[in-house]
Amino acid sequence: MPDEINAEVIVVDDDPSVQRALNRLLMTNGFARRIFGSAKEFLSDDKPSPAAGCLVLDVEMPGLDGLELQAELQKRGFRLPIVFITGHGTVPISVEAMKQGALDFLQKPFDSRSLLDVIRKAIEQSRQRSSEERECRDLELKFLTLSTREREVFRLIVKGLLNKQIAFELGIVEKTVKVHRARVMEKMQANSLAELIRMAETLRLPPCSSAIFASPTRAGRNQI
Amino acid sequence: MPDEINAEVIVVDDDPSVQRALNRLLMTNGFARRIFGSAKEFLSDDKPSPAAGCLVLDVEMPGLDGLELQAELQKRGFRLPIVFITGHGTVPISVEAMKQGALDFLQKPFDSRSLLDVIRKAIEQSRQRSSEERECRDLELKFLTLSTREREVFRLIVKGLLNKQIAFELGIVEKTVKVHRARVMEKMQANSLAELIRMAETLRLPPCSSAIFASPTRAGRNQI
DNA sequence: TCCCCCATTGGACCAAGGTCCAATTGCCTT
DNA sequence: AAGGCAATTGGACCTTGGTCCAATGGGGGA
């Protein structure tokens, strides 16, 4: 019963016996898995990271330890939920790991049930997050097809201005605003103003930030 | 230098010497504070909880311990950030506390600097959250002044429907929809459709949930 | 019972948004 | 140099949204 389709559990632990045990446990429970003996080994792996899944990290490892690996991954924008396992964890270490966003921190010995439960939870969470991220990326792609002018108009529409006010703001005629506006709706594939505004929210370009509106070198040349 | 105006630090610890030490530490650093010897004592206190501030909870206490108190407060909707301090904490306990949303978990002995830093951070966080909550409550109050019909129209507007479609949906004439719509804008004090839609987002009544639209027993009589 | 408020509708009218067709200017790439 | 696209504007026309004034029916509270 492969209840975890498309998801992959990535294990990083330097202890071969733990590797074997986890491998068997995950295998018999139908999880796709990838096992590494060190942070370095994992970081230099060039297979693309799975869309859904989770990391199971040992805390104590030669080279980069589990928490350092967590920090490094955070820096790189790697987003899978992390579950720590440890033989000699301390309170400060576990607290630090949790503050940095770890999903759980298990001390050996733990029963495999607990670990599997946590892993399932992690995978579900990663699924949810990845679908949100995909949605957001889709929006961003559409946003990128907008020309400079269209982005400005977009911003002012979301701000709640009337076409007339937008025209004044930009020093152009209302007629032109209408043209841009129509194109914004079309390119963003918005069926209503309400939808367009929610898109802006999702893109986190609420009525202020103009930084994101950084435009292509010049207008144009920016479809895809 | 009372740098923590309006904020209050609530301490719950059964050890009198800790109470005294924390009291002095907080006092000399200009924090308003309230100190309790047990969870029970704190829970039965009838002074209103401060808008901003934080809780400093001892983990080991007779009666309800720190974590149980945390759970109880969560159940009651009490929302101040929690910082745990403990003499004999274990990894599982600290992890559980963090999973339940604690801001930090300090093991004695800790230097007072650390605690003060955490407390300041907690207070800032509580400030931010409380201002968000107030904003949300203000919106809810306005929403409550809407009549049943107005709420339905509100929902359909946010869904992106045209007046005509809303009219069809509700089995009334477009003219009537306009009236309701105008009243919605007025009562919600929205200056533009964009604003109204953002309000709906904040109220978390995105284009689906009709549960929240539970109306007054009958239409009317529902201003304030 | 009387009044208030909600819900509803009508008509008139203006403002704003959307669409279709058409055209000009300026920059960048080919 | 030529073509392409962005940016701009014009005009005509229709659809929507918003506002003002006015009116009716119904239910609940004072």
Which residue's alpha carbon is at the shortest distance from the C1' of D7? Answer: A149
Tell me the C-alpha distance between B192 and B180, whole Å: 15
Does residue A123 share a domain with residue A15? Answer: yes
- Residue B45 counted as domain residue: yes
A199 and A209 together in one domain: yes
Judged by a CB distance cut-off of 8 A, whether residue A4 touches chain B is no
Q: How many structural domains compose chain B? A: 2
Same domain (yes/no): B22, B122 = yes
Backbone dihedral angles phi then psi of residue A65, each to the nearest 5 degrees? -85, 180
Interatomic separation, CA of residue B203 and C1' of nucleotide D4, rounded (Å)? 47
User: Is there a single domain that holds both residue B68 and residue B104?
Assistant: yes
Last residue of a domain, one of B114, B132, B150: B132
Read off the pLDDT band of A206 (50, 70, 90). low
A90-139 confidence digits (pLDDT tens) = 999 999 999 999 999 999 888 999 999 999 999 999 999 999 999 999 99
Average confidence score pLDDT of chain B: 87
Inter-chain CB proximity B95 and A92 less than 8 Å: no
Residues 110-149 of A with CB under 8 A from B: none
Query: In angstroms, what separates the C-alpha of A159 from chain B's closest C-alpha?
Result: 7
- Cβ-Cβ pairs closer than 8 A, A with B, add up to 67
Nearest nucleotide, CA A162 to C1':
C16
Same-domain status, B112 and B155: no
Q: Is residue B30 domain-shared with residue B118, that is, in the same domain?
A: yes
Is the confidence at residue B49, as pLDDT, over 80? Answer: yes
The last residue of one of the domains, among B79, B97, B132, is: B132
The answer to whether residues B207 and B111 belong to one domain is no
B224 pLDDT band (50/70/90 cuts)?
A: very low
Last residue of a domain, one of A132, A152, A176: A132
Q: What is the domain extent for residue B44?
A: 7-132
- Nearest by CB to residue B194, choosing from A98, A105, A197, is A197
| pLDDT class of B4 with cuts at 50, 70, 90 | low
Q: Is residue A1 part of a domain?
A: no
Of all residues in chain B, the percent with pLDDT exceeding 90 is: 66
State the CATH number of the domain containing residue B200.
Answer: 1.10.10.10
What are the residue ranges of helices labelled H in chain A? 16-28, 39-43, 66-75, 91-99, 112-144, 148-158, 163-170, 174-187, 193-202
Chain B residues with CB inside 8 Å of A94's CB? 91, 94-95, 98
pLDDT of A67 higher than 50: yes
Give the distance, in angstroms, between residue A219 CA and nucleotide C27 C1'. 9
**A26 and A36 belong to one structural domain:** yes
A178 and A89, same domain (yes or no): no
- How many C-beta atoms surround the C-beta of residue B98 within 10 A? 22
Inform me whether the pLDDT recorded for B31 exceeds 90: yes
* Closest approach of A192 to chain B, Cα-based (Å): 5
Q: What is the CATH number of the domain that holds A97?
A: 3.40.50.2300
Give the gap in angstroms from C-alpha B1 to the nearest C-alpha of chain A.
Answer: 30
Is the preceding peptide bond at B109 cis, omega within 30 degrees of 0?
yes
Kindly report the backbone phi and psi dihedral angles of residue A35, in degrees, each rounded to the nearest multiple of 5, phi listed first: -120, 130
Residue B24 inside a domain? The answer is yes
For residues A106 and A201, membership in a common domain is answered with no
**CB–CB contact A107 B91 (8 Å):** yes
AA letter at B46: D
Whether A199 maps to a domain, the answer reads: yes
